[in-house]
Structure 1
């Protein structure tokens, strides 16, 4: 059966109660409740201030958290600067929002020195970014992560890529303890943000060396994308990943896939695969399938992802600044 509108509020309450008490790995909700009780409010106000001046903040912080967790776990190694650090690798070269995490860290250090990790700041900031874009009212982020000591660009080679086939995407997520529903759900974060033309222009003009477009692209949308990314034009031009409501956290992304309007090949392929398509259809409330509430499932998957290979206890350290080890 499909969940009715009247049942959704109760479902939200059950989820929020669950996420309030959950402890995954060795992280837990309320880790800083006595050691730094103002940490989360400082992070939230920092993200809000940044969003007012730079509307693209939510997408950048969500993506940064994702890229951090998929490389040696959620340990803020992506924030470390250096000539061969993670943030210099091609998949991370266009990420935005580092200065927001640095600002939050500086403010927190002023009131709670040496207590709150950069990894936790990034996880909380990603949650707050979803809230700013109209996502679920709130979910509780288990905290207690410690910061990693190593950041290497060479470790980013297994990040999910814009042209990964579905079986490769599923494998990469499974290697991190995430299932196929997590894959589709977290891909839904592409309801926010943009992609540079260089990442998908091959789909418009020479897909699989055919000298023609990817046949899965809607014809009208193909014209739109070609106008935005002309053949031989600048590969740095950016295009909204969600052409329906690019600044709102909603299910428009999945509706785009259904219509052949996925910008990245890895996204559109999710609709072409029966298993991943079924999950997307459940978010869209397709008749005959048990419905899923995107905001609820996204919160659940984010909590799972944010506990990938976390460092806790005496592992790692609490950095004094997020861009360098102590």
Structure 2
């Protein structure tokens, strides 16, 4: 049962005991049970009521990344291995939003309705929807191809920040990670130098867009940067420490699991990590964690009034009702 205990190590005690008991009776179904078990959140003031159920929606998705809220309140995310974008309606019905997404990962809607994505098939940033308006916005930097474009966030001025996470930890290649900014005129600049962050992943702006947050999967902190008038960055800080620090991932590399980032209407920062969803205030103070049955990868607020937090990872999707809605000025 060692592997079973490890699989459930992130679960609260009661849920863990229930799942381990089920495993002894029906081990064939353990992976399904692990994903589908309901867990309950502890009280986090202003965030979630004690005992709120983290509701399982579905498992078996072919990759789970890039979640955002659609204009109609439904929830979109990418199935990267299936090369499509999937929609979950508020009633949990599931449909395909877009086929042939060019390996889209991070997503964001522009004010004109264009869906801008980072695309791992060609490691570029571009528009994939609506049909007929597809175009490439940036495909390299000074002639150098990106290694693995990962996530993006749109500023109100039309600028785009995005991360290049470098090759995966299981790929033997020279990493060249970075963070980039495409200004409203289409000019690209590297705003965080090569390998200054071990593995830049999720990216998010503060409500006033004076601060940029970057999740460092290879480190213990979510980083923050002050934003200059031209979009460049300064004053790097270790903003929020992931509570359980670095753990060995599936490839044996040390990782905090820090990945997806989202903010609520009061400026709190929500971070997916090895242990669930970690919540921090605007000063980086840890407020508490929302448990998830299996290690999450990304998250976004959606639903009516953005008062539902959707969480995806390892082929599964969940949702939890929250007290404070997601920030209305951002698709996440």
Fold conserved between structures, TM > 0.5: no
Higher RCO structure, 1 or 2 (CA under 8 Å, sep 6+): 1
Instruction: Answer 1 or 2: which has greater helix percent.
Output: 1
Question: Could you say which structure has the larger radius of gyration?
Answer: 1
Taking structure 1 as the reference length, the TM-score comes to: 0.27
